[in-house]
């Protein structure tokens, strides 16, 4: 196996896809000569040059629109938002110009584009730089929304996203960039992809299902390790994709464990966990629940700055453990 | 005798042949095309104001008889199509938004005359004229307006969302099409295909921030993008003086060169667009064209269009600057065509539009099975939730 950070896995994915298809190109702020604000695109400009790796001015609405136009005219752009907070400036282009066009044109005009960048809370960057957009983009038909956790997720899903002929919002996580993961032999193949829309069971268990995405997969696995010592076996499901949501995988697990806890970094109201609750109620798994579904979410406030406040604004491992026990009534 | 009669019947049915009476009551069949018509003439066109350019488009335009008749046909078709849409809207057969283009025909016709079919074009929501000039039939346009399955977007797009190869709509969000157009130009440059993208917007959109973002990147990267401001003097109900600190829209690109063009003269538009296309194709980067034009209708069918401007103003433009009349008069006074010819063209167009309207009102609406299709391209079929949990709908690419 290979020990690779999420950052390097993303870099590998882009490098391989740039090499494979000359229509693929990357644009965004600092992606070229600076090697990427978070160094995700390190080395790519040196290898591919100005034509394929483009530094843009700080004009999100403009360059996101340019990226969408380029996709309409036959290229396959990767549009990087330095963080997804800045995508709000460009969100009209993502939704109205990219997501809806295939439908409005009755299949005549496709938009093969990837919007990627770090999403959600970071460390000490305060309210305007810490929002999670999974629920915002996950709401919209015409988009695929992906949220990788591990290095293997990052590489396989980004390659799939780039090869997908539709607009894909690819939500990375800054705090995960430097985390190393073991990557499988097959993940080193240049054609290794992970299908969009399928969740992965990261840990098997019989007592309770934990459904989560991105950084909180780590939290759930850590919580599961602690709970295992007390004899509680958690099944941890890594969503990998927010839209389309793999409800079947969740249902299959819940029908086995009878208990469900969702864990996410975003705000609770109208969030990913809220959607999972609604979908469970509408399907066969509802009758298997021995307790209502519990949502573990970020606190419903703008992100504060002071460390003690910030730490208490997002789910911690102890919150997951507490919620599991409450749900199991132990 | 039978042979003579048969030959005569064949000739009589040919569109290019007319019967001209000669002396002594004898009749001879003659070909129209080598009669007394002037095959080509040179016309003076209005000088374009320029911004950051040494010289502008030429002051004269050559027009052949064929071109003249073609431009006339195109503009008249757009005119009659839009008036038919007006009628259908008042009959409530067209619903929702309907932004009509009558008065501005010279812009669409002149631009198309100057670019190649392989070039690209994108505009905002007043798009029916461009949808036609970019190759979609009147039938498919009207059927899209009436929301039928024979519409160019199968009834799923409507007035503001019609597409064709190299025509990227039809865009509802004011100004959003401008970065898209710059992106299409980027693709042209990237692919090295010598094509340009014509990116249109109105005087209302001219103040949008994303335009300036686009101008900046287009100039920085020398994108082959012709930005065209179709200035019809009103952004919805707000006159340009009330919306813009500077109404010199051809100068608003600052470092991007610009020209201001008489948008009511199809020849002026054509020459200016040729000039602009040459500029872009030679690698000089983007250029802005301001077309001074006018819309006879209000902003949309919901706007009578007379609360913010006078009927006198509208009438004045109609009588003095109508693009179709101007072309017709030019050709007639230079003996390039006859009144009968124009009448015949009008009749043919009237029929085409009438037939199209007939189709647009009788074609069925799209079947409900179509509801969820075209969400994703090249995707396996997926399920879409209906209005309640028991309704699961199917979506195919």
Per-residue pLDDT of chain B (397 residues; tens, 9 = 90+): 666 666 666 555 554 444 444 444 444 444 455 568 999 999 999 999 999 999 999 999 999 999 999 999 999 999 999 999 999 999 999 999 999 999 999 999 999 999 999 999 999 999 999 999 999 999 999 999 999 999 999 999 999 999 999 999 999 999 999 999 999 999 999 999 999 999 999 999 999 999 999 999 999 999 999 999 999 999 999 999 999 999 999 999 999 999 999 999 999 999 999 999 999 999 999 999 999 999 999 999 999 999 999 999 999 999 999 999 999 999 999 999 999 999 999 999 999 999 999 999 999 999 999 999 999 999 999 999 999 999 999 999 9
Contact status of B184 with chain A (Cβ, < 8 Å): yes
Looking at residue A1, its pLDDT comes to 75
Q: Whole-angstrom Cα distance, residue A14 to residue A40?
A: 9
Q: Whole-angstrom Cα distance, residue A61 to residue B211?
A: 10
* Nearest-neighbour CA in chain B from A106: distance (Å): 5
Q: Whole-angstrom Cα distance, residue B200 to residue B107?
A: 10
Closest alpha carbon within chain B to A106: B153
Q: Which two tokens stand for residue B299?
A: 């902003």
* Nearest-neighbour CA in chain A from B354: distance (Å): 25
Q: Whole-angstrom Cα distance, residue B3 to residue A325?
A: 103
Count of pairs with CB atoms under 8 A, one residue in A, one in B: 148
Residue range A49-102, pLDDT digits in tens: 999 999 999 999 999 999 999 999 999 999 999 999 999 999 999 999 999 999
Among candidate residues B301, B273, B305, B303, the one with its CA nearest the CA of residue B288:
B273
Q: Residues A150, A180: contact at Cβ < 8 Å?
A: no
Among candidate residues B123, B213, B220, B225, the one with its CA nearest the CA of residue B182:
B225
B86: burial class by Cβ within 10 Å (0-12, 13-18, 19+)? middle
Closest alpha carbon within chain A to B154: A106
Contact A69 B153 (CB under 8 A): no
β-bridge partners, B262: B292
B319: burial class by Cβ within 10 Å (0-12, 13-18, 19+)? exposed
Q: Which two tokens stand for residue A173?
A: 């996580």
Closest alpha carbon within chain B to A73: B184
Residue range A117-140, pLDDT digits in tens: 999 999 999 999 999 999 999 999
- The C-alpha R_g of chain A, in whole angstroms, comes to 20
DSSP state for residue B164 in the 8-state scheme: B
A213 is catalytic: no
B236: burial class by Cβ within 10 Å (0-12, 13-18, 19+)? middle
The gap from C-alpha A21 to its chain's centroid, in whole angstroms, comes to: 24
Contact B178 A65 (CB under 8 A): yes
What backbone torsions phi and psi does residue A312 show, to the nearest 5 degrees? -90, 10
Q: What average pLDDT does this structure show over A172-198?
A: 97
Furthest CA-CA distance within chain B: 86
Q: What average pLDDT does this structure show over A292-319?
A: 98
A244: preceding bond cis by omega (within 30 degrees): yes
A91 sits in the region (left: phi over 0; alpha: psi -120 to 50; else beta) called alpha
- Where helices occur in chain B by DSSP H, the ranges are 2-13, 65-90, 105-114, 128-133, 138-145, 177-191, 209-221, 240-243, 266-281, 311-321, 323-333, 339-362
A207 is catalytic: no
Chain B, 250 to 279: residues with Cβ < 8 Å from chain A are none
Q: Whole-angstrom Cα distance, residue A135 to residue A137?
A: 6
Contact status of B394 with chain A (Cβ, < 8 Å): no
Looking at residue B339, its pLDDT comes to 96
> Which residues in chain B are contacts of A104 at CB distance < 8 A?
153, 156-157, 161, 169
Helix (H, G, I), strand (E, B) or coil at A165: coil
* Nearest-neighbour CA in chain A from B4: distance (Å): 53
Looking at residue A256, its pLDDT comes to 98
List the catalytic residue out of A29, A60, A80, A235: A60
Looking at residue A69, its pLDDT comes to 98
Residue range A244-278, pLDDT digits in tens: 999 999 999 999 999 999 999 999 999 999 999 99
Q: Residues B253, B225: contact at Cβ < 8 Å?
A: no
Contact B376 A97 (CB under 8 A): no
Location of structure tokens 């600076």: A34
Looking at residue B27, its pLDDT comes to 44
> Which residues in chain A are contacts of B120 at CB distance < 8 A?
73
> Which residues in chain B are contacts of A102 at CB distance < 8 A?
374-377
Beta strands across the sheet bearing A24-28: A53-55, A24-28, A76-80, A114-118, A168-172, A144-146, A241-243
| Inter-CA distances, A303 with A133, A267, B265, Å | 14, 10, 58
Q: Whole-angstrom Cα distance, residue A129 to residue A123?
A: 10
Contact status of B377 with chain A (Cβ, < 8 Å): yes
Helix (H, G, I), strand (E, B) or coil at A276: helix
Contact A69 B220 (CB under 8 A): no
Nearest to A166 among B120, B191, B377 (CB): B377
DSSP state for residue B53 in the 8-state scheme: -
Looking at residue B34, its pLDDT comes to 53
Among candidate residues A177, A174, A175, A115, the one with its CA nearest the CA of residue A140:
A115
* Nearest-neighbour CA in chain A from B352: distance (Å): 25
B294 contacts: CB under 8 Å, gap ≥ 6: B103, B104, B232, B233, B264, B317, B321
Among candidate residues B202, B210, B178, the one with its CA nearest the CA of residue B286:
B178
Angle between helices B138-145 and B339-362 (to 10 degrees): 40
Looking at residue B7, its pLDDT comes to 61
B166: burial class by Cβ within 10 Å (0-12, 13-18, 19+)? buried
Among candidate residues B119, B126, B80, B153, the one with its CA nearest the CA of residue B303:
B126
* Nearest-neighbour CA in chain B from A140: distance (Å): 11
ipTM field: 0.95
Among candidate residues B262, B230, B266, the one with its CA nearest the CA of residue B71:
B266
Q: Whole-angstrom Cα distance, residue B169 to residue B160?
A: 7
List the catalytic residue out of A30, A129, A139, A233: A129
Q: Which two tokens stand for residue A49?
A: 């040059």
| Inter-CA distances, B247 with A117, A235, B32, B231, Å | 39, 65, 47, 9
**pTM for this predicted structure:** 0.93
Q: Whole-angstrom Cα distance, residue B396 to residue B375?
A: 8
> Which residues in chain A are contacts of B181 at CB distance < 8 A?
69
Contact A104 B382 (CB under 8 A): no
């Amino acid at each position: 196996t290979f020990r690779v950070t999420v950052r390097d896995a993303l870099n590998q994915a882009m490098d391989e896809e740039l090499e494979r298809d000359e229509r693929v190109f990357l644009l965004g702020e600092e992606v070229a000569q600076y090697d990427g604000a978070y160094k995700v695109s390190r080395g790519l400009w040196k290898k591919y040059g100005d034509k394929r790796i483009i530094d843009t001015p700080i004009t999100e609405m403009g360059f996101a629109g340019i990226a969408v136009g380029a996709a309409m005219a036959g290229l396959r752009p990767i549009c990087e938002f330095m963080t997804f907070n800045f995508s709000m400036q460009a969100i009209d282009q993502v939704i109205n110009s990219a997501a809806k066009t295939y439908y409005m044109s009755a299949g005549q005009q496709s938009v093969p584009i990837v919007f990627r960048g770090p999403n959600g809370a970071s460390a000490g960057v305060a309210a305007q730089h810490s929002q999670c957009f999974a629920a915002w983009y996950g709401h919209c038909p015409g988009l695929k929304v992906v949220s990788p956790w591990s290095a293997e997720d990052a590489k396989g899903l980004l390659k799939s996203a780039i090869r997908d002929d539709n607009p894909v919002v690819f939500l990375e996580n800054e705090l995960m960039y430097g985390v190393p993961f073991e990557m499988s032999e097959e993940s080193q193949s240049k054609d290794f992809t992970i299908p969009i829309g399928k969740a992965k069971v990261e840990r098997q268990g019989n007592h309770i299902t934990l459904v989560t995405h991105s950084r909180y997969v780590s939290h759930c696995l850590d919580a599961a390790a602690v709970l295992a010592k007390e004899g509680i076996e958690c099944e941890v499901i890594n969503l990998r994709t927010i839209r389309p949501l793999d409800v079947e995988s969740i249902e299959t697990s819940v029908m086995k464990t009878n208990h469900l806890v969702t864990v996410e970094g975003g705000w609770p109201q109208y969030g990913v966990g809220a959607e999972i609750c609604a979908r469970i109620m509408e399907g066969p798994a509802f009758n298997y629940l021995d307790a209502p579904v519990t949502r573990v979410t970020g606190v419903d406030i703008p992100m504060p700055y002071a460390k003690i406040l910030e730490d208490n604004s997002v789910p911690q491992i102890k919150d997951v453990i507490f919620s599991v026990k409450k749900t199991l009534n132990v | 005798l039978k042979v003579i009669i048969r030959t005569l019947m064949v000739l009589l049915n040919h569109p290019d042949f007319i019967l001209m009476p000669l002396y002594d009551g004898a009749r001879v069949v003659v070909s129209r095309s080598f009669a007394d018509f002037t095959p080509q003439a040179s016309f003076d066109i209005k000088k374009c104001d320029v911004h950051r350019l040494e010289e502008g488009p030429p002051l004269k335009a050559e027009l052949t008889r064929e071109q003249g008749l073609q431009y006339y046909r195109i503009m008249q078709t757009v005119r009659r199509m839009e008036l038919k849409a007006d009628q259908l809207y008042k009959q409530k057969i067209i619903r929702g938004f309907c932004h009509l283009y009558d008065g501005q025909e010279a812009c669409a016709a002149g631009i198309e005359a100057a670019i190649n079919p392989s070039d690209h074009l994108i505009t905002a929501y007043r798009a029916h004229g461009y949808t036609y000039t970019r190759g979609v039939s009147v039938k498919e346009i009207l059927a899209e307006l009436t929301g039928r399955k024979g519409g160019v977007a199968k009834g799923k797009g409507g007035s503001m969302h019609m597409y064709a190869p190299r025509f990227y709509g039809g865009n509802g969000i004011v100004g959003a099409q401008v970065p898209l157009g710059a992106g299409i130009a980027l693709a042209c440059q990237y692919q090295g295909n010598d094509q340009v993208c014509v990116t249109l917007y109105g005087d209302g959109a001219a103040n949008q921030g994303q335009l300036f973002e686009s101008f900046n990147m287009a100039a920085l990267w020398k994108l082959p993008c012709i930005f065209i401001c179709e200035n019809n003097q009103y952004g919805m109900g707000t006159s340009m003086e009330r919306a813009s600190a500077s109404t010199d829209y051809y100068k608003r690109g600052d470092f991007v060169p610009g020209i201001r063009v008489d948008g009511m003269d199809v020849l002026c538009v054509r020459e200016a667009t040729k000039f602009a296309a040459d500029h872009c194709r030679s690698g000089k980067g983007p250029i802005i064209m301001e077309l001074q034009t006018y819309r006879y209708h209000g902003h949309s069918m919901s706007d009578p269009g007379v609360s913010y401007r006078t009927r006198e103003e509208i009438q004045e433009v109609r009588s003095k600057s109508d693009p179709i009349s101007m072309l017709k008069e030019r050709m007639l006074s230079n003996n390039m065509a006859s009144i009968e010819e124009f009448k015949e063209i009008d009749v043919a167009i009237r029929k085409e539009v009438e037939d199209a309207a007939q189709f647009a009102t009788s074609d069925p609406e799209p079947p409900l099975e179509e509801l969820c299709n075209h969400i994703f391209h090249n995707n396996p079929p997926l399920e879409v939730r209906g209005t309640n949990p028991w309704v699961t709908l199917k979506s195919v690419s």
